[in-house]
Amino acid sequence: MAGKYQSLRGFRDLLPGETEHWQRFEARAQRLLHAYGFREIRVPHLEATELFTRSVGEATDIVGKEMFTFEAGRDSVTLRPEMTAQVCRAYIQHGMDRLGLNRLSYIGPAFRKERPQKGRLRQFHQIGVELFGEASPEADAEVIALGMAIVTAAGVAGTKLLINSIGDSDTRPAFRDALLEALRPVAEQLCGDCQSRLERNPLRVLDCKKKKCQELSADAPAILDFLSEDARTHFDGVLANLEELGIEAVVEPRLVRGLDYYVRTTFEIRAEGLGSQDTVLGGGRYDGLVRALGGAQITGMGWAAGLERLFIAAGLDDQPVAPELDLYVVTLGPKARRMALPLVQALRAEGVSVSWDSSGHGLGGQMKRAGRSGARFAVLIGDDELSRGQATIKDLAGGGQSEGPIDALGLARWTRDQREREG
């Protein structure tokens, strides 16, 4: 508990050892996204509040109590609680439907003002994709396949794909009424949360984890029975395509996603061992959203995954990455010290990763720093080495010592040879 200032609740620093995990995942993810033909879009962190209230839904918790909203002069602005609405806004704003830009991906922070806990922070990070203008079952299957690949790329094993169709916006009211009719008589027996859900969003009662509520809603009508002919065909097509791709999907009729804009296909990928935070990726189809935000009638399908949760599910959260470096230059005496900076610069230009200590510590201190830097070899240069024209090179893992080149080009070649020898 040192220092006067502390990061804000729900906001945290990513330190070296952890950032490497992020970099590795991001590199792998970008390769995958590229392989699927997606191109990255970067949208602002701040947006007009109305964009989110319109798209995510007034009644959702996100809009109701979790947004970081500020008054900026006459405008109300909000730190994005998710990115789909923004990507749609940008899609419309830049006329992307005419530019052939219909496969978009994003990665970055999002903000929700809720009580932090494991795998849930006020600033968290999402990676996601949006596929516009393709309403086919194949599109759904492809987007889901990409989601599975991303989760796998993060190193998560033991995933489970849950899928459902919540029908179209014009058939949902019928289901909602039927559901209400079935649940009203037993409303008293539902848990407190569900009683309020009954009014706000009855579909979510199906999603309640409490046993009693599940029993009470067991005999309630299933949404799949209310699908229109089109929606039913579409859903069957999605399932068939997933099977064709060898992706195992569990139809979960109780799966209801929280955001208002979803229609037809909804799905989540869950990871084992994460408790209530086990949904690592979630998404679905949102065919009416672009239109609702003022664009043309263009369909959409996408998902978002939480990076913090992915890393927890992959078991990476408590495994810091050790530093790696080719060389650490240790100098003795003023002559050697004067040539150190030009030397390390020349080595870097040759693609060798190298560090050194410019603060004038003694040999012991420098060796200690060399050991901690993660360097494979320490290159010792003192008066002896300068007169001999040979550097002393110490193997920091094995402890052995030998002579080696003292000039940049020679050292660079020597380093490359070592790398090759060690694979």
C-alpha closest to that of 79 among 42, 116, 51? 51
How many of the other CB atoms lie within 10 Å of CB of 62?
Answer: 20
Q: Is 272 in the site for RNA (CB under 7 A)?
A: no
Query: Scanning residues 332 to 351, which ones bind RNA (CB under 7 A)?
Result: 332
Q: Is 259 in the site for RNA (CB under 7 A)?
A: yes
- 359, 308 contact by CB (below 8 A): no
Q: How far apart are CA 64 and CA 199, in angstroms?
A: 15
Stretch that binds RNA, among 30-38, 226-234, 270-278, 341-349 (CB under 7 A): 270-278
Q: Which of 167, 282, 300, 302 binds RNA (CB under 7 A)?
A: 282
- 110, 11 contact by CB (below 8 A): no
Site map for RNA, 201-220, x if CB under 7 A? Answer: ---x--xxxx----------
Q: How far apart are CA 325 and CA 377, in angstroms?
A: 8
How many of the other CB atoms lie within 10 Å of CB of 283?
Answer: 26
Q: How far apart are CA 304 and CA 31, in angstroms?
A: 17
Query: Scanning residues 110 to 139, which ones bind RNA (CB under 7 A)?
Result: 112, 114-121, 124, 126
- 396, 377 contact by CB (below 8 A): yes
Which CB atom, from 91 or from 111, has the smaller least distance to RNA? 111
Q: How far is the CB of 103 from RNA (least distance, A)?
A: 20
Which CB atom, from 3 or from 246, has the smaller least distance to RNA? 3
Site map for RNA, 216-255, x if CB under 7 A? Answer: ----------------------------------------
Q: Which of 143, 161, 327, 370 binds RNA (CB under 7 A)?
A: 370
Amino acid residing at 384: D
Which CB atom, from 2 or from 99, has the smaller least distance to RNA? 2
**What is the three-state SS of 70-119?**
EEECCEEEEECCCCHHHHHHHHHHCCHHHCCCCEEEEEEEEECCCCCECC
Which CB atom, from 334 or from 399, has the smaller least distance to RNA? 399
Query: Scanning residues 148 to 167, which ones bind RNA (CB under 7 A)?
Result: none
Q: How far is the CB of 208 from RNA (least distance, A)?
A: 6
Q: Is 78 in the site for RNA (CB under 7 A)?
A: no
Query: Scanning residues 380 to 409, which ones bind RNA (CB under 7 A)?
Result: 380, 382-385, 392, 394-399, 401
Q: How far apart are CA 90 and CA 41, in angstroms?
A: 9
Which CB atom, from 221 or from 320, has the smaller least distance to RNA? 320
Q: Is 320 in the site for RNA (CB under 7 A)?
A: no
Which CB atom, from 75 or from 384, has the smaller least distance to RNA? 384
Query: Scanning residues 286 to 315, which ones bind RNA (CB under 7 A)?
Result: 304-306, 308-309
Site map for RNA, 20-39, x if CB under 7 A? Answer: --------------------
Q: How far apart are CA 46 and CA 67, in angstroms?
A: 11
Residue count at the site for RNA (CB under 7 A)? 71
Structure-block tokens of residue 100: 């052939």
Q: Which of 212, 338, 368, 419 binds RNA (CB under 7 A)?
A: 368
Q: Is 268 in the site for RNA (CB under 7 A)?
A: yes
Amino acid residing at 222: A
Q: Is 365 in the site for RNA (CB under 7 A)?
A: yes
SS3 369: helix
Which CB atom, from 234 or from 394, has the smaller least distance to RNA? 394
Q: Which of 16, 73, 275, 423 binds RNA (CB under 7 A)?
A: 275
315-to-19, 269, 302, 308, 333 alpha-carbon distances in Å: 15, 17, 26, 11, 46
- 350, 408 contact by CB (below 8 A): yes
Q: Is 60 in the site for RNA (CB under 7 A)?
A: yes
How many of the other CB atoms lie within 10 Å of CB of 65?
Answer: 10
Q: How far apart are CA 289 and CA 86, in angstroms?
A: 11
DSSP assignment of 360-373: ---HHHHHHHHHHH
Q: How far is the CB of 357 from RNA (least distance, A)?
A: 11
Structure-block tokens of residue 294: 């003022």
Which CB atom, from 82 or from 142, has the smaller least distance to RNA? 82
